[in-house]
Amino acid sequence: MASLGFTRQINSSVAEFPATRPRRRQSSGFSRDRVGFRVFAQAAAAEPDLSVTVNGLTMPNPFVIGSGPPGTNYTVMKRAFDEGWGAVIAKTVSLDAAKVVNVTPRYARLKAGANGSAKGQIIGWQNIELISDRPLEIMLKEFKQLKEEYPDRILIASIMEEYNKAGWEELIDRVEQTGIDAIEINFSCPHGMPERKMGAAVGQDCALLEEVCGWINAKATVPVWAKMTPNITDITQPARVSLQNGCEGIAAINTIMSVMGINLDTLRPEPCVEGYSTPGGYSAKAVHPIALAKVMSIAKMMKQEFGDKEYSLSAIGGVEKGSDAAEFILLGANTVQVCTGVMMHGYGLVKKLCSELQEFMKKHNFSCIEDFRGSSLEYFTTHMDLVRRQQEAIRERKAVKKGLQSDKDWTGDGFVKETESMVSN
């Protein structure tokens, strides 16, 4: 347990959160003796085990539907479970959906061809979509129905509310009554909601974040993940504040503030609504390298300051292949969320993601996710350290060129080269 690290980090204003929290419950889902299962799985199918357990929740694989259109109603969430997604995070809900008014069109795509080209691979996706515009009562009814029909599967509610303690408490209470397994807090929607002091407006202001996380974690009885905005200078700061103030996990990243482009015929920006537009959130393949950098910074901070055992990290951004997920896991992610990838390729994508991740694991003889989670993190260092390492390597190469240190170093295979290395002309 990271209790020592956690205790060291918390300040007096958050000391009410115990390091080990009795309120966290274990999912009945896929719980089993991990070692026993692995031996059995290897004997039967020789397939690497993709199952993960995060904050006491066990999932058949680390692939999670990210909050957005793929988790917007009962029908699509049921489809996600049927196709085999490890967990589903529903579209963000708030108390009063009547205040959420969407526009159409609300998406615009960037293709790998020329500006405005209709051809080419989609590499970037911008949306100006708000949180769920469906009445909360209906969403809650659907969460309850899903949990009744799929009691062993992990359903996570994504929530967002205005700057109002009573409002947050009511929303948490109501979503928890449906039987959902965890809550993700949307501290990160970059458009529309910040105008109401919601979403990124909280995630970009650490003082506000500390206060709101305090309200949330004093109320919640299931694990809470804080979803981070990348639209901030140092993403580790809100991540640290969220963990210090009681959250069990960090999810990153939400979309990146963007202007998708200008139509060079009409001179109007995209997506174009009655001739006008507004900056939106950028996602898909193009954001993957940025997401990797943000996840790497958060993972390093979590490891150094909180220990990496009790807290979870859910990585998001541009995942379409098993290799994209492998990269996030190598940086320390426990789970990997996919949103735009599902919008482009459909729910069946999870099968491809699982088999590609297993191929990667087989290549390296990894039998479970923990065998390689975080393995690449140690290879990130400072530029100064890179310079030091390179100078040391050059010194070593020069030393080799100067010839053998002793007669005992002569080898049969390298004899001619070794002779050459000691000739002066």
Half-sphere exposure in the Cβ direction for 131 (13 Å, CA): 33
Neighbours of 214 (CB within 10 A): 17
Using CB under 6 A as the binding rule, the residues of this chain from 312 to 351 that contact ligand FMN are: 316-319, 338-341
Q: Which one among 100, 131, 159, 302 touches ligand FMN, defined by CB under 6 A?
A: 131
Decide: 263 and 270 in contact? Cβ < 8 Å. Answer: yes
Instruction: Compute the least distance from the CB of residue 8 to ligand FMN, in Å.
Output: 30
CA-wise closest residue to 298 among 382, 211, 227, 369: 227
Using CB under 6 A as the binding rule, the residues of this chain from 175 to 194 that contact ligand FMN are: 186, 189
User: Of 14 and 296, which CB lies nearer to ligand FMN in the complex structure?
Assistant: 296
Among candidate residues 189, 213, 247, 339, the one labeled active-site is 189
Q: Are strands 182-186 and 154-159 parallel, antiparallel or unpaired?
A: parallel
C-alpha–C-alpha distance, residues 237 and 388, integer Å: 29
Which range touches ligand FMN (CB under 6 A), out of 122-130, 146-154, 306-314, 384-392? Answer: 122-130
Instruction: Compute the least distance from the CB of residue 125 to ligand FMN, in Å.
Output: 6
User: Of 109 and 240, which CB lies nearer to ligand FMN in the complex structure?
Assistant: 109
Instruction: Compute the least distance from the CB of residue 238 to ligand FMN, in Å.
Output: 14
Which range touches ligand FMN (CB under 6 A), out of 115-123, 214-222, 238-246, 280-288? Answer: 280-288
Let me know if 17 is exposed, middle or buried by CB neighbors in 10 A (0-12, 13-18, 19+). Answer: middle
CA-wise closest residue to 151 among 37, 58, 68, 219: 58
Q: Which amino acid is at 298?
A: I
Annotation says 368 is catalytic? no
How many residues sit in the footprint of ligand FMN (CB under 6 A)? 27
Instruction: Compute the least distance from the CB of residue 249 to ligand FMN, in Å.
Output: 14
Using CB under 6 A as the binding rule, the residues of this chain from 219 to 258 that contact ligand FMN are: 227, 254-255
User: How far is the CA of 117 from the CAs of 121, 122, 259, 280, in angstroms?
Assistant: 10, 11, 17, 20
Q: Are strands 154-159 and 87-89 parallel, antiparallel or unpaired?
A: parallel
Close Cβ partners of 149 (under 8 Å, ≥ 6 residues apart): 78
Per-residue contact string for residues 60-79; x = within reach of ligand FMN by CB under 6 A: ------xxxx----------
CA-wise closest residue to 51 among 71, 67, 31, 65: 31
Give the alpha-carbon dihedral of 381, 384, 390, 392, to 10 degrees.
-110
Q: Based on the shown chain and the rule CB under 6 A, indicate whether residue 287 belongs to the binding site for ligand FMN.
A: yes
User: Of 83 and 370, which CB lies nearer to ligand FMN in the complex structure?
Assistant: 83
Q: Which one among 14, 29, 58, 91 touches ligand FMN, defined by CB under 6 A?
A: 91
Using CB under 6 A as the binding rule, the residues of this chain from 348 to 407 that contact ligand FMN are: none
**Catalytic annotation, residues:** 189
Residues that bind ligand FMN (CB under 6 A): 66-69, 91-92, 125, 127, 129, 131, 158, 186, 189, 227, 254-255, 283-284, 287, 316-319, 338-341
